[in-house]
Structure 1
Amino acid sequence: MLLDDIADVGRDPRRGGWSRHLGDDAEAALRAWFTEQAGRRGLAVETDANLNLWAWWGDPAAGDAVVTGSHLDSVPGGGAVDGPLGVVAALAAVDELRARGVVPARPLAVVVFAEEEGGRFGVPCLGSRLLTGALDPDQARELRDPDGVTLAEALAHQGHDPARLGPEPARLARIGRFVELHVEQGRALAPRGEALAVGSTIVAHGRWRLSFLGRADHAGTTRLDDRRDPMLPAAATVLAARAAMAHHGDEARATVGRLHAVPGGTNVVASRVDLWLDARGPLPQTLVDDVAAAAYAAAADEGCTVELRAESVSDAVTLDEGLADTLAAVTGAGRLATAAGHDAGVLAAHVPAGMLHVRNPTGVSHAPDEHADDADAAAGVRALADVLEELCR
């Protein structure tokens, strides 16, 4: 399968798994690989103003295009199929359509969205958010990676003009339907004995940064009464996230997966601790409010202050019901809701968008053990080809 071609790109010897982020060597290699693969298929490739890649079969200016694809980047130390499976399946579906002798009656495009995971600059679905106007380009240009490099600086280093970032309504207007195939992120299909499902909804979710400010000092000589250690309220906040998740029911999710201490010395009381809260569920803001209340209280007890800032917030999305009916009729698959964010959820506010999920037998995702069986992936390719053939009539 085409996934084998990129299996070694971005392997992370420190974290395990794969790390592929916007502007790094691995992501650049993947973009070059996609461009080469699209060219082999006679698809015309272009890069839009927001670093998204488009490979066209037919004239894009004709409009009412059918678009499919996903992303090639990953979370730090992530799995091999989250994102790439959708891109590879789209290319393989083009091969399948050609083998069937299908000539699309409207343009067909395979898209690779930039920085879907937000693994470098912190904002998920960066390329699709910029494309649709969901993210202010001035704000985007000032985003910083963990090394302090801004998105504008990173793009300029790649030879891309950061001033071009921003909404592209004319490009959006060309899209008639968007279908994203993606590995299942969870384990709902295996108990049902089903290889595929049609996406129905995406739950509300977001990321918030909490910055705890204290006073740096010597770890050995600073007495307990003299300490203003921001690590303590940060630790209390991690526990508060777990408590809030338990309190708000089975559909609530609250996770702290990233924490950064400044200056970061083993023998230094930190002056600042930043942590990032991922909250999802029917009412994610209520989770955030509960965690924030605990954070403010713990910071006050330690003589510290805390700043809370939303970095990205997405409301619940119902994917296009008419398109979902078509996908279900063509594939015979049932419906599946997801708590994972996707570019399809961003596009859904502007164009009819749908999803196909491919079974993940273990349910592990955003980790090296993420997996889809070859037979299920092949079934996903056939189903996607069937869908594209129907939509391109």
Structure 2
Amino acid sequence: MWRELAPIGRDPASGGYRRHAWTGADTDCRAWFRAQAETRGLAYETDRNGNQWAWLGDPAAGDAVVTGSHLDSVPDGGAYDGPLGVVSAFAALDEIRRRGAEFTRPFAVVNFGDEEGARFGLACVGSRLAAGQLTREAAYALTDADGITLPQAMERAGHDPAAIGPDPGRLARIGAYVELHIEQGRALDLSGDRVGLASAIWPHGRWRFDFTGEANHAGTTRIADRRDPMLGYAETVLAARRAAEAAGAVATFGKVAVEPNGVNAIPSLVRGWLDSRAADPETLDAMVAAIETAARERAARDGVDVTVVRESFTPLVEFGHALRDELDRLLGGSVPVLGTGAGHDAGILSGAVPTAMLFVRNPTGISHSPAESAAEDDCVAGVLALADVVEGLACGTR
């Protein structure tokens, strides 16, 4: 499975993946998922929001055990973020069948669409729509860098966007959702464990900072006469680093757009996107407020206007202790429990269904990069742990 999936969407120059939602690479990943489902005799379907499902047993019976993740990527992302969870889900089913266990609850593997938000700027679109955290109207307003709207992109990829929206009936079928994911950090590497359990997902969000100044000639405009928005942006990037260090949190300006974007032109607009995360909402709010204050103070000095828009936000997610404790029991009670600053579909679904997460060791801690990696032995340990969990929950044999 890994060898078949690995070439899809891989950029030969960077070695990273560009599997953006509703593109050709995404279509190829979806075809791979469907082939895996049909090879195993699972009932395949795509829901109203473009999420893919592979069912064993009758979904209408309810109380299903579901596992999976996503197949899309950030720009030049790594191979494991998302796909490891989907590949491991199918592999865990194969392992359970090899053991001869019989399912007493419906079971499904899922691929949630557009988890990374690389194309339309909003993460977890598929699961947000299903959980009612993203309205149809707001989804229709999403556009990519070329001005293509989300519904246009879905339609071009062969999916009817007319029906997108909350899907409470489908979520009501789920009794437990368990997502396996490569750890996006080094906690397991430092502890020497192959597999861990998630305790919580930090609150996090994305803010757009627009610095509006005045375009002018770079060679003829006196320094004293300039209204250069790049200065405010640069100061804000540094302020974000200082605020994050002081708060014990993280803040990153990882995307920027400049107009008119000429080497010999003073910009008229610098637009930067802040990704910020902290262990609790109070710390996050205070940190973002400090960053915004720094932006406005610098902009005032330079005669530049600033607009700050919160484009997305995910509150603190504390995974339910009942399911987490059951997973811990099924795994022998010796699995470390750790928090994470990374968002996931499991976090979005946690308000609607019982959810839990398993992490697989990442020896370098690098993620969202072609350098992301995991040892084969650790991946196999993740599959076996997921198989133990699914067998215990869906077969009642452990």
Q: TM-score, normalised by structure 1?
A: 0.97
RMSD after superposition: 1.2
Q: Residue 259 of structure 1 aligns to a residue in which SS? A: strand
1:195 is aligned with what amino acid?
R
**1:1-393 map, 5 Å:** 2-249=1-248, 252-281=249-278, 282=280, 283-332=283-332, 333-392=335-394, 393=396
CA distance change for structure 1 residues 248 and 142 in 2, over 3 Å: closer, same or farther?
A: same
The secondary structure found in structure 2 opposite 1:81 is: coil
SS at 1:27 equivalent: helix
Name stretches of at least 5 consecutive residues in structure 1 with no aligned partner: none
For 1:235 and 1:136, how far apart are their aligned partners in 2?
Answer: 35
User: In structure 2, how many angstroms separate the alpha carbons of the residues matched to 1:292 and 1:321?
Assistant: 36
Unaligned runs of 5+ in 2: none
**Is the 8 Å Cα contact of residues 236 and 294 (structure 1) preserved in structure 2?**
yes
Question: Could you list the per-position Cα deviations for residues 24-64 of structure 1 after superposition, in whole angstroms to 9, with x for gaps in the alignment?
Answer: 11111111111011110011111111111111011111111
Deviation at 1:162, TM superposition (A): 2.2
Whether the 8 Å CA contact 1:114–1:125 is kept in 2: the answer is yes
Q: Which runs of 4+ in 1 moved over 3 A?
A: 13-16
Q: Deviations over 1:71-127 (max 9, x none)?
A: 001111111000000000000011111112222111100000111111111111111
Q: Secondary structure at the match of 1:276?
A: strand
Q: Deviations over 1:189-230 (max 9, x none)?
A: 112111001111111111111111112222222222332121
Instruction: Work out the percentage of aligned pairs sharing the same amino acid.
Output: 54
SS state at 1:46 partner = strand
Instruction: Tell me the amino acid that sits aligned with residue 253 of structure 1.
Output: V
Whichever residue aligns with residue 200 of structure 2, its letter is T
Question: Residue 86 of structure 2 contacts residue 109 of structure 2 at CA under 8 Å; is this kept in 1?
Answer: yes
How many Å separate the matches in 2 of 1:353 and 1:381?
18
Aligned partner letter, 1:192: S
Give the distance between the partners of 1:256 and 1:107, measured in 2 at CA: 43
Name the CA shift for 1:361/1:391 in 2 (closer, same or farther; >3 Å): same
The residue type equivalent to 1:58 in the other structure is: G
Q: CA deviation at 1:15?
A: 4.3
Aligned partners of 2:385 and 2:165: how far apart in 1? 34
Partners of 2:47 and 2:306 lie apart in 1 by 39
1:159 deviates by 2.7
- What is the rounded CA distance, in whole Å, between the counterparts of 2:382 and 2:15 in structure 1? 27
Matches of 2:257 and 2:14, distance apart in 1: 17
Superposed displacement of residue 21, structure 1: 0.7
One-letter amino acid matched to 2:156: H
Contact 1:15 1:76 in 2 (8 A): no
| Native 8 Å contact 1:20 1:75 kept in 2 | yes
Q: Are the equivalent residues in 1 in contact too, given 2:323–2:354 (CA < 8 A)?
A: yes
Q: State whether residues 206 and 284 of structure 1, in contact with CA within 8 Å, keep that contact through their aligned partners in structure 2.
A: no
Deviation at 1:160, TM superposition (A): 2.1
Query: 1 CA distance for matches of 2:128 and 2:148?
Result: 20
User: Distance in 1 between the 2:300 and 2:144 partners?
Assistant: 29
Q: Distance in 1 between matches of 2:129 and 2:73?
A: 19
| Preserved contact between residue 14 and residue 370 of structure 2 (Cα < 8 Å) | no
Question: 2:124 touches 2:348 (CA, 8 Å); kept in 1?
Answer: yes
Q: Which amino acid aligns with 1:171?
A: R
Q: Provide the rounded CA distance (Å) in 1 between the counterparts of 2:104 and 2:84.
A: 26
Q: Name the aligned partner's letter for residue 43 of structure 2.
A: A
Distance 1:359 1:171 in 2: 32
Distance 1:154 1:226 in 2: 44
What SS class does the counterpart of residue 23 from structure 1 fall into?
coil
Contact 1:56 1:110 (C-alpha < 8 Å) held by counterparts: yes
Aligned mates of 2:162, 2:288 — CA distance in 1: 34
Aligned to 2:343, the other structure's residue is in SS state: coil
Count of residues in correspondence between the two structures: 390
Shift, 1:164, TM fit:
1.4
What's the TM-score once normalised by structure 2's chain length?
A: 0.96
When residues 13 and 303 of structure 1 are mapped into structure 2, their CA distance, relative to the original with a 3 A threshold, is farther
Tell me how far apart the structure 2 counterparts of residues 319 and 77 of structure 1 sit (CA, whole Å). 30
Offset, 1:148: 1.9
- Secondary structure at the residue paired with 1:181? strand
More deviation, 12-21/68-77: 12-21
| Secondary structure of residue in 2 paired with 1:140 | helix
Cα drift, residue 156 of structure 1: 2.0
Give 3-state SS (helix, strand or coil) of 1:148's partner: coil
